[in-house]
């Protein structure tokens, strides 16, 4: 790994002081904001995430706020998921597509009111696409990035820790629903969600000034649960099949290729700008798709570029995320494989950057 040079452009967050005090050892950059990647070691963080509770600075999940009479119309223009039955208080994972059906982002949409939404974005300036559409269609809607920085509480002891701070009512929040809870006189949206399979919450921290007081309160109350600073964990997310925009998919991919067809209602998503382009693939299915792939041999190097996947010499796919899994004692990977070779049990081979080849196997499903 190489050093990252600090600058204002790589934005600090309301929790950066806490992250640094906890001894952050690595960062990535996500939406031009610092996102921690490792505290003690990726493997120690992984073990701890599965056993205790962690506080994650995921401020980089910036919000795009839509507000006004056309907010819901605009929201539906963005996604092939049918939003008509979505209730206030719900969160939806929504593929966002352009007019060709290419993925522009895979955020979580939060319906705050009938005329007010947050889109909690992955790593692309979705704000600019949304503003461009709103302007081009002369919609009656405000679109901007509010001062909201998500803080995630993840791990099996999340409910206990959160109840200590926000009261037992927080335990009743259902998956991908949110409630509004008070902290130091501020109302905060808290959803049961997060980028791990270990359970937990995301607190949408409105206004920078309460960032560190909340961080400190969680750290203090969490001592008895062995709380520690954490971050999205590479091993755990691949085991769980959590996709990463920019890694496992780009604007070259349709939602269906990404295995997100279940979040598309292409026929009924009337108004979605990518609907027409997606109708055929929604009906017939894609010709390549995301798969869980096991790679044989010792721990693979960091997957910092696409690795070609072949059947014999024939190019049939690509790996985009990979790492060694201690719990499953193998290399776990996410890749996209052509229809002819995507069946579970298909034996393939992967070319690593040093030119060596490794045996690989298409898995039925992800590990967690």
Query: Which strands make up the sheet holding 186-191, listed edge to edge?
Result: 178-183, 186-191, 200-206, 148-154, 54-57, 228-230
State the minimum distance, in angstroms, from the CB of residue 242 to a copy of itself: 14
Distance CA(343)–CA(351), nearest Å, equals 20
Instruction: Give 226's DSSP letter.
Output: T
Give the residue with the Cβ less far from a copy of itself, 165 or 322: 322
Interface pattern 265-294 for a copy of itself (x via CB under 8 A): --------x---------------------
Interface pattern 232-271 for a copy of itself (x via CB under 8 A): ------------xxxx------------------------
Span 163-222, contacts to a copy of itself by CB under 8 A: none
State the minimum distance, in angstroms, from the CB of residue 8 to a copy of itself: 5
Q: Does residue number 7 form part of the binding site for a copy of itself (CB under 8 A)?
A: yes
Q: Does residue number 146 form part of the binding site for a copy of itself (CB under 8 A)?
A: no
Residues 6+ apart with CB under 8 A from 197: 236, 239, 240, 242, 368
Tokens of 161: 């820790």
Distance CA(257)–CA(332), nearest Å, equals 19
Interface pattern 77-116 for a copy of itself (x via CB under 8 A): ---------------------xx----x------------
The string over 251-267, giving b where at least 16 C-beta atoms fall within 10 Å of a residue's C-beta and e elsewhere, is: bebbbbbbbbbebbbbe
Q: Does residue number 129 form part of the binding site for a copy of itself (CB under 8 A)?
A: yes
**For residue 216, with 0-12 CB atoms within 10 Å meaning exposed, 13-18 middle and 19 or more buried, which class applies?**
middle
Q: Does residue number 135 form part of the binding site for a copy of itself (CB under 8 A)?
A: yes
Distance CA(352)–CA(298), nearest Å, equals 12
Neighbours of 239 (CB within 10 A): 23
Q: Which one of the spans 106-114, 124-132, 167-175, 255-263 is the region binding a copy of itself (CB under 8 A)?
A: 124-132
Q: Does residue number 299 form part of the binding site for a copy of itself (CB under 8 A)?
A: no
Binding site for a copy of itself (CB under 8 A): 1-10, 12, 24-29, 32, 37-38, 98-99, 104, 123-126, 128-133, 135-137, 244-247, 273, 302-306, 320-321
């Amino acid at each position: 790994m190489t050093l990252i040079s600090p600058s204002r452009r790589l934005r600090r967050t309301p929790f950066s002081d806490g992250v640094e005090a906890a001894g952050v050892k690595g960062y990535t950059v996500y939406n031009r904001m610092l996102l921690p990647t490792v505290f003690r070691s990726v493997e120690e963080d992984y073990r701890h995430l599965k056993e205790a509770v962690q506080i994650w600075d995921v401020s980089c999940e910036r919000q795009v706020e839509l507000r006004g009479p056309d907010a819901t119309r605009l929201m539906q223009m963005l996604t092939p998921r049918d939003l008509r039955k979505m209730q206030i208080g719900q969160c939806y994972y929504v593929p966002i597509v352009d007019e060709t059906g290419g993925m522009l982002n895979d955020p979580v949409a939060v319906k705050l009111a009938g005329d007010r939404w947050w889109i909690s974005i992955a790593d692309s300036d979705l704000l600019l696409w949304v503003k461009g559409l709103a302007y081009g269609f002369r919609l009656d809607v405000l679109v901007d990035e509010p001062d909201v920085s998500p803080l995630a509480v993840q791990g099996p002891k999340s409910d206990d820790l959160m109840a200590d701070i926000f009261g037992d009512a927080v335990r009743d929040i259902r998956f991908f629903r949110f409630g509004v809870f008070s902290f130091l006189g501020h109302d905060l949206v808290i959803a049961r969600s997060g980028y791990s399979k270990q359970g937990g919450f995301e607190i949408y921290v409105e206004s920078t000034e309460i960032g560190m007081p909340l961080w400190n309160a969680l750290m203090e109350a969490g001592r008895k649960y062995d709380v520690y600073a954490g971050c999205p964990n590479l091993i755990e997310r691949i085991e769980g099949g959590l996709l990463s925009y920019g890694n496992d998919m780009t604007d070259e991919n349709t939602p269906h290729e990404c295995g997100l067809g279940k979040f598309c209602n292409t026929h009924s998503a009337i108004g979605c700008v990518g609907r027409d382009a997606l109708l055929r693939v929604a009906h017939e299915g894609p010709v390549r798709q995301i798969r869980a792939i096991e790679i044989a041999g010792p721990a693979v190097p960091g997957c910092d570029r696409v690795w070609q996947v072949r059947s014999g010499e024939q190019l049939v796919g690509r790996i985009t995320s990979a790492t060694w899994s201690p719990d499953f004692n193998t290399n776990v990977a996410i890749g996209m494989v052509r229809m002819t070779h995507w069946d579970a049990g298909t034996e393939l081979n992967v070319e690593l950057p040093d030119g060596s080849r490794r045996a690989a196997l298409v898995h039925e499903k992800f590990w967690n």
